[in-house]
Structure 1
Amino acid sequence: MYEGFVYAVTMVKDTKMDLSASLAERTCVVKGWSFKDTFRFHFRLSGTETKPCTEWQEARIGEWFLHHCPDLLRHEVYLGDGRYCGVVLGVAVDADGMVLEGAVHLPSCDTLAEVASYLEGLAGRFIALIALDGAVRMYFDPTAGLSAVYSARDQAVASCVHLAINRELKPEPAVRSEDVMQRKSQFIFGETCDADCKRVSANHYLDLETFQLVRHWPKADFSFQAESFDRNGAAHMISQRLTQILGGLSNSYSVALPISAGTDSRILLAAARPHLDRIDSFFVHDIYTVTQFDREGAQMLADELGLELQVIDRRKPIFSEFLNDAEIGSIRERMAIGTSLSFNGIDDLAVRAACLTPSCELVLRGNAAEMSRANKWTPQTVRKPVSDRDGVAALLNVRENQLEDVVAPSRLEKLLLGYAAWRETVPEGARDRLPDLAHIELFMPTGPNNVYYAFTRNFYINPYNDRQILLQTAWFHPLARRRKKLVAKIIANTTPKLDKLPYIRELKQRHKDAKKKGVS
């Protein structure tokens, strides 16, 4: 796949096409792809007035031109005195549970600080471009779910590298994109497939005057060292807000909810209980040997709630018949370019499954909810101060004593320096939860959130992606979270019977025990 992409870029140099066009446009011309279909849900901000696609929409903010796919909804933002100050692009739910639709009027906001505070209270998957008080800034949702890259050299911000640049790639020397797509390595600390394009971090805005990321949350005086913390109250707040967000989304869009035998989708399903009749479809993937357990668990959940479950099953004829090998290869290549050469679908089975996702506007995913079980903490780090080595290991999803086995010495040194530099930007009072903050700010924007650009059939969104939900989750002690205390409380607040059904580990053990009995 990657060699084919290099060939395409080389061929572009030999044609007479407009070299001022973005690399994305030029690649689509050479490959014969539809730009609109390839870059659905994408955007670009630059000083260039010409749209990359005639069907894309445009907004001008100061000297900047924002071009975006028409399926990525735009909401103009107006201050209390009626002044226009920018746009929100994407899907967002406000603090009152209302989905942004059309123009957004902020009667109590007249300053940049007040607008920023409003944006911090939004859940969803979006960016906000604000020009006010002499500044032009781009803000991001709580985990940078609508991820972006930026380049001071190219004076552009975009959803992917190929939209941001109108030149050839300048490969990042530390990481090969081929290795990232094969899941042998990963970009981190702002790295992308281009050395001059950097990935944004959550909880930071991008200053478009300096092209520097600036932290805006948590505030300098924030601390996790509260005198008292009500665990039941925190779990109730999470459940209540999650139900509110799910209600807003399901009332405003056609939505599908994938369910499995895991924890994260069950949290969403439980919180969605009051709105199940407004969710258009529930589905599960059964495409690998291990996914039989997800299917079994999902069916139990569906039966318990009286839901019709759609199974995307590799054994059904349609699974192998509706796309040929050449079409799969083309889809995987477009996935790679849409994700800045970070993800190309894992394998053909996963690509076929993604293309069979139910027809709907939004797919509600459980990403970010993994924090409820302290996914970036180990039995060791929950009981001692987290070192920089611990932090890097968590980002790489390995144990601290495995670092030298999976990372070259020079690479490890760079990662440790990057982590230390990031840590210094975190307020002192928030450093008790460094693994959680690193997961939100560093891992999610470059990992799962960027991967969402690969899926152009539906707009993927994380209902758990809300700053107050994430804050209350992180406040819960990681040891209690690892013991599933928070998960149990969240589900108990809405649909307690769901927590009594077996999770994937128990289902696997049941099958293992049954197999032993059968053999004996």
Structure 2
Amino acid sequence: MGRVARKAQSLKTAQFFLADTASLWHSSKKTSGKFSMTGTSSLLLGQKYCDALNLDFENSFRFQFVLSPEQRRLPGFGIRRFADRYLHVSPELALCEITSVEGTPLGLLLGQGVDADGNLLKDRHRLEFSAYDTELADKLENWVKWVSGRYALLLDLPTQTPVRRAYHDPVGSFGLVYDPETRVLASSLFLCLERDIDPSANYRPHDDVMADETISSLLPDFDPNLPAGGYGFGETLDARVRRLLANRYVDLDTFKEHRFWPGDEDFEPISMRKAAQIITRRMRQTMSALCNNLDGYFAISGGRDSRMLLAASPDLTDSGIKLYCYANNYITTLDLRVAEEIAEVVGQPLLGQVPDDGFRGSFLPRKRRSIPLRHQFAISTGLMHMGDDWWQRGFARKLDKGGVWIRGNFLEIATARWWPRRPGTYEEDMDYTLERIRVGLGDDADRARKMEQLRAWSKSFEYDFERHFHDFTYMDLTTAPPMANFHGYNRMFLVAPGSDRLIFKTAMQVPARQRQQTRFYDHIMNQLNPAMHAVPLARPVAYQSRRQGVNATHLLEERINEYRQAANA
């Protein structure tokens, strides 16, 4: 889809919103120091921080939204009524209206989703369910279980007792947050708050955030002895705002969370061959829907996850999706070299991004140019952190704005990377998991409290502990803390096709040991593209080079030459 088509789609999206939004746009005055609530009650915290840091609000919160009881003045955002509330949406966030078979509106999908039949959900999607079906809520929930991508789904069902809910994608990569007191639902923390931050008793901002004098001068006081970042178990930097965990929805009337998956799902073991067939079919469906309908970039590397997706992709010759890789440190130079080889397998050009002064260099002429980028990342993510090296050194600024950014995240489920290498006792499993789920850990008392949270979570639903404890901790808990970071990389809209319950469920039906040994990955790649499977992987070569005491770049070239000779034999 080209620029003209994308503009036409934006115009269609705009029709969903109130026509007179110009009068609702607001240019507020800058403040200095910590925020005073006096006289600024109509502004969200994100607006106040943008003013104080001289950031553009619409750019800072691109691809985000707020659902609020009050109508707000958010610069550039569209507004419409939804579920007796006001939905404020970035004009660049894709929106699809979900309707019944009769055409009755049932809800809105914000972001990018692909349904179980391989349809990209865009503009308006008509379901086969009647608005008068007494089981409408259950049927719609069963439908959304199998929608992959990165999205929020807001429901307002016309049932006798109104059903109003917010779901998100299978691993929660859209990152919904909500305040039960104010009844605001948003994509990130600073769009959820009108008041100042009520400091968490369990976490403080990351050191890089606190080290920024401008931002730290705006913050309330945090206990310096608390762990930095890693907001786990649905907690955020604010004591009263919750992050919606994966596999749950939040009721928009009571603002209580409810788990809806796995429920009574069947995880009976199946053969690797059959499981690979199911997963490869689903990957092909999803990649076809994304690559044949959208513009943007597909980030490939020297690893396994993006390789599976590329092998499942349709012919990209006429697609609006470009293959992309970058090098910003030594190991990513190996990734880039392997990416060149797998791009050649599918006969597509690769945009390889390296600064003119080498992988340690920058695309910014002066280091101070990174300050607005750092501030924007921090504000758009709710102070998760200031952005990674790729963001701060201006790589994103050299890429086309808008469109999607396809990534290989979450496919570690196929290789069980988050499982321990050896079976352990229950207590050993719990200790191992607490260290692995990316939760900030402090002193002994803090660890004990978070261990109790982990134990409570582990007993909150039914599953086979020995077979799937580490799978569910990966899906529910490990992926959750960093998900708000996706809102920071907002030059494009990030989408990970691996956020898919059919992929997760099917992989979990294969024993973890077979996945860890990459035997299951081998089955998937041999079904998708055996030639691509034969291309060397970057990190195993780097590991071998350290063991052998040789240069990794030279060893990788040797492996690539061996692969080419075998392919041409």
Q: Does 1:354 align with 2:389?
A: no
TM-score calculated relative to the size of structure 2 = 0.81
After the TM superposition, which residues 430-469 of structure 1 pair with which residues of structure 2 at under 5 Å, given as runs?
Answer: 432-447=467-482, 449-469=483-503
Change (3 A) 1:359 1:164: closer
* Alignment equivalent of 2:116, drawn from 88, 95, 108: 95
Write the distance in 1 (CA, Å) between the matches of 2:317 and 2:277: 20
Aligned equivalents of 2:326, 2:188: Cα separation in 1: 28
SS state at 1:257 partner: strand
Per the TM alignment, residue 303 of structure 1 is displaced from its structure 2 partner at its CA by 2.8
Tell me, what secondary structure is at the counterpart of 2:91?
coil
* 8 Å contact from structure 1 (residues 253, 361) kept in 2: yes
Match of 1:445, SS? coil
Q: Is the 8 A contact 2:271 2:510 kept in 1?
A: no
Does the aligned pair in 1 maintain the 2:291–2:314 contact within 8 Å? no
Q: 1:371 offset after TM fit, Å? A: 1.4
Q: Cα distance, 1:509 vs. partner?
A: 5.0
How far is 1:23 from its partner? 0.5
Task: State the alpha-carbon separation in 2 of the partners of residues 394 and 131 from structure 1.
Answer: 37
Q: Does 1:70 align with 2:91?
A: yes
1:296 pairs with 2:324: no
Partners of 1:362 and 1:307 in 2: CA distance? 18
Shift of residue 384 of structure 1?
7.6
1:67 and 1:332 map into 2 onto residues whose CA distance is 25
Matched, 1:377 2:419: yes
The CA distance in 2 between the partners of 1:103 and 1:291, in whole Å, is 41
Distance 1:316 1:353 in 2: 13
Which residue in 2 is equivalent to 1:340?
A: 382
Q: Partner letter of residue 423 of structure 1?
A: S
Contact 1:138 1:206 in 2 (8 A): yes
Query: How do 1:8-47 residues align onto structure 2 when only pairs under 5 Å count?
Result: 10-13=33-36, 18-47=40-69
Cα distance change on mapping 1:337 and 1:381 into 2, 3 Å? farther
Partner-residue secondary structure (3-state), 1:330: helix
For 1:259 and 1:278, how far apart are their aligned partners in 2?
Answer: 16
User: Cα–Cα, structure 1 residues 360 and 410, in superposed 2: closer, same or farther, change >3 Å?
Assistant: same
Shift of 1:196: 0.8
Q: Residue 123 of structure 1 aligns with which residue?
A: 148
Matched residue of 1:80: which SS? coil
Give the TM-score normalised by structure 1: 0.89
Q: Is the 8 A contact 2:250 2:258 kept in 1?
A: yes
The alpha-carbon distance between structure 1 residues 285 and 381, as it changes in their structure 2 partners (threshold 3 A), is farther
Shift, 1:381, TM fit? 3.7
How many correspondences in the alignment?
499
Q: Which has the higher helix share?
A: 1
Structure 1's 158 and 91: CA in aligned 2 closer, same or farther, altered over 3 A? same
Q: Does 1:263 align with 2:304?
A: yes
1:400 aligns with none
Do the aligned partners of 1:149 and 1:164 also contact (CA within 8 Å) in 2? yes
Q: Is the 8 A contact 2:96 2:110 kept in 1?
A: yes
Give how far 1:267 is off: 1.1
What residue is the counterpart of 1:420 in the other structure?
A: 455
Corresponding residue number in structure 2 for 1:188:
232
Percent identity at matched positions?
24
Q: How does 1:441-520 map to 2 (within 5 A)?
A: 441-447=476-482, 449-509=483-543, 511-512=545-546, 513=548, 515=550
User: Are positions 1:364 and 2:406 aligned together?
Assistant: yes
Gaps of 5+ in 1: 1-6, 398-402
Q: Distance in 2 between matches of 1:263 and 1:479?
A: 17
Query: Are 2:327 and 1:327 aligned?
Result: no
> Does the aligned pair in 1 maintain the 2:279–2:506 contact within 8 Å?
yes
Q: Residue 118 of structure 1: CA displacement?
A: 1.4
Give the counterpart letter for 2:233 in structure 1.
F
The answer to whether residue 178 in structure 2 is matched with residue 150 in structure 1 is: yes
- Aligned equivalents of 1:463 and 1:431: distance in 2? 27
Cα deviation digits, residues 379-426 of structure 1 (max 9, x gap): 1248989733233223139xxxxx9xx642111111111111111222
**Aligned-pair Cα RMSD in Å:** 2.8
CA contact (8 A) 1:223 1:429 kept: no
- Listed as ranges, the gaps of 5+ residues in structure 2 are 1-29, 211-226, 555-569
Does the 8 Å CA contact 1:41/1:72 hold for their aligned counterparts?
Answer: yes
